Amino acid sequence: MAQFSRTWWGQRFIVALEEFTDPARLGRGRSYASGGRILEYSLANGTVNARVRGSINPYFGVYREPIYRTSITIKPISSGDWKKAIQQIASRADLVTKLLMNEMPDTIEDAFSRLGLHLLPHSESDFVTDCSCPDWANPCKHIAGLYYLLASALDRDPFLMFELRGLTREALHTELVKTPLGKILASALKSEDLPDVESVESYYTRPAREPGAVVTSHKEFWTGAKRLPPLPATSPASVSALLVKKQGDYPPFWHKDVSFISMMEELYERVRTKSKQMK
């Protein structure tokens, strides 16, 4: 089901079919829809027509791959019931707003059920189907495949269900705008009432471009244009190389005649002098 019905609307369409259709038949139809056997289909006057590739079946006397003509018609809602349904829809601002914005409200069925009507298929009697194949069962796998393709089409445009029930998107919009609530909401949604974005001065500070600093030397690059304040002078340690002196003049690893401490004191002094010269 997920492959052919990614939206809640398409899923509800398939769930409605599964309530009164043999699941095995629907499963065979799913493989037909995914296998590219439906060559083409079109929607006109509330009927979905398709050309479907059949299967070779000697049992039915079919020895060459046939092309069957398949159609699905959903029982339309009468014009009188549509007027009642539109009045019911027009009493709710949430439904009218979404429909005028070409969005399908997930509670749209509530408006129909209050009148004993259904927008989605509710029973097998809602469908009139036909297929030129020799299979006597209804739905055959060709009709079932077209069901799934129709569910996929509803994913892309849920307003197809209104058209299948006898009311086009344009007619629905026109009838809603005629109602008092629809007239108010439609005027509020008109793009003419919105200010021209380009003519309105921005409410936010625009970023300004500043010239980059020119670096004259690598030393300035690393130190920056503004020098940090010098660190406070610290007095040298009263005892030089304190950690080294803990080893003594001739520690176990030292094998020279000269004192280990004196050598390290000299090294420390050289490092200190060198660091002062680098500042």
Residue 67: the pLDDT is: 93
When comparing pLDDT for 103 and 257, which is higher? 103
Rounded mean pLDDT, 18-45: 82
Contact at 8 Å (CB) between 140 and 133?
Answer: yes
Residue 270: the pLDDT is: 80
Residue 174: the pLDDT is: 92
pLDDT in tens, 210-254: 666 665 666 666 666 666 677 666 655 544 556 666 667 777 777
Q: HSE, CB side, 13 Å, CA atoms: give it for residue 150.
A: 32
CA distance 34 to 1: 11
pLDDT in tens, 53-65: 888 878 777 788 8
Q: Is residue 192's pLDDT more than 50?
A: no
Choose the most confident range, by mean pLDDT, from 26-30, 42-46, 140-144, 244-248: 140-144
